[in-house]
Each structure stands twice: as structure tokens, then as C-alpha cells.
Amino acid sequence: MSRIDEELAEAVREGEEPEAQANFAAADPEPIAQRPKRSLGLLIALLVMAVGILTLVMTGFEDAAIYSKGVDELIKERDRLAARNVRVEGMLVKGTLTRRDQPCEYRFRITKNGAELPVHYAQCVVPDTFRDMPGMDVAVTAEGKLSPAGHFEANHIMAKCPSKYEMKERKAKGEAAPHTDLTPAAAQLKN
């Protein structure tokens, strides 16, 4: 036998001796019967903490969730979504965009699939692309909540800019870009 085999056999013999087992038990001051109770207590404490954290996460994100709906869907689900944050999408109704100075507020109506929704936006500044442009539909997305009075209180609005291809088509037809305010004389000077 090799030296390694002899050492291994010796170690096994020592592990089987009753004296070695007695020494092992004497080295551990805590009785073996006490270990499972401590482990069970630790397991219960960890489970309670995990359930508590999970509960906080689930209840904390409930108000942060934003539902995205079209105007028609929002009106159908008005009662269910009344107190929740909602993102509503629709087209700006032509001629409804108005601005009030005191207090500073924009009011307009958006529509989708035949349903209309009045929107109040209590801010002084709107995105540059949010304009009532003649001959062009403006897609609007508003975030906020439905008010008990029946209108939508927006705290953020976004307007979809017309695509560059749509602008090229309009230019080919001889129309000016809707966001430029050139008079005919200024347009001739520019050409």
C-alpha cells in the first residue's frame, strides 16, 4: 500500500473510535438537540421578512402603475379607472385648443373611435409639436387622472410630430410646413 492509503485508513479508524466521538461532542458546548430549534427560528424569521418585503413591493407599485387606454376605452371604464393614473391617447379635435393666462392652463378635446374627452392641462408650457394645425391631425397622449367633474386632469402631454415623409408630400403639393409662420412674401424671398 502506498503512504496515502495508509493515512486514509488511519483517519477512518480514528473517526470510528468512541473516544474521538466523545471528544467531538465535548468540543461542541451546545447539545445537538438545540440546533434544529435555532435553525427553525431563523427560517421563520427569514420567511416573515420575505413576506413583509413582498407585501411592500406589491402595494407600493399599485399607485405607480399607469394604464394606457384610448379615449373610447377610458370612457367605457370610467368608474374603474377614476382614481388611477392613466395615459390616454387620441387625436386633437380641431378648433378646441385654448389657453387661459390666469391661472395658466390649456384646455382641449381629444377623440378616438367616436368618443370625445375634455382635457385640462394646468401648465404654461406645452411641447413644440402640440399645435392645432389646419389640415393635419395631431396625435396626443396625455397622462393624469379623471376628475369627478368629468374631464381629464393631465399632468403631462405629448404630441406626435408629423413624419418627415408626410411633410415631403405636403411640400410636393405646394403646402407650407404647418409649424412655420412664413408670409407669402417671406416664402418668396426664401425660394
Q: What is the pLDDT of residues 76-132, one digit of tens each?
A: 888 888 778 889 999 999 889 898 888 889 999 999 998 999 999 998 888 877 888
Residue 22 vs residue 138, higher pLDDT: 138
Tell me if residue 116 falls in helix, strand or coil: strand
Residues 134-157: what's their mean pLDDT?
Answer: 87
Residue 181 has pLDDT above 50, yes or no: no
Residue 186: per-residue pLDDT: 34
User: Rounded to an integer, what distance in angstroms lies between the CA atom of residue 148 and that of residue 92?
Assistant: 22
For 93-103, how does the pLDDT look when each residue is reduced to its tens digit (9 = 90+)? 988 989 888 88
Residue 188 has pLDDT above 90, yes or no: no
Q: What is the mean pLDDT of the chain?
A: 76
DSSP assignment of 125-156: ---TT----TT---EEEEEEEE-TTSSEEEEE
Residue environment code for 97-122, b if the CB has 16+ CB neighbours within 10 A, otherwise e: beeeeeeeebebbbbbeeeebebbbe
Q: What is the pTM of this model?
A: 0.54
Residue 65 vs residue 142, higher pLDDT: 142
Sorting pLDDT into bands at 50, 70 and 90, what band is 166?
low
For 20-51, how does the pLDDT look when each residue is reduced to its tens digit (9 = 90+)? 455 555 555 555 555 566 788 888 999 999 99
Cell 395615459 identifies what position? 87
Residue type, 150: G
Residue 71 vs residue 83, higher pLDDT: 71
Closest to 161 in 3D by CA, of 130, 135, 124 = 130
Residue 180: per-residue pLDDT: 43
In the chain the beta strands, taken as DSSP E runs, fall at 67-70, 86-92, 98-100, 105-112, 115-121, 139-146, 152-159
Is-contact 97 139, C-beta < 8 A? no
Residue 185: per-residue pLDDT: 37
Residue 60: per-residue pLDDT: 72
Residue 24: per-residue pLDDT: 53
Tell me the C-alpha to C-alpha distance, in Å, between residue 147 and each of 57, 64, 94.
Answer: 28, 18, 23
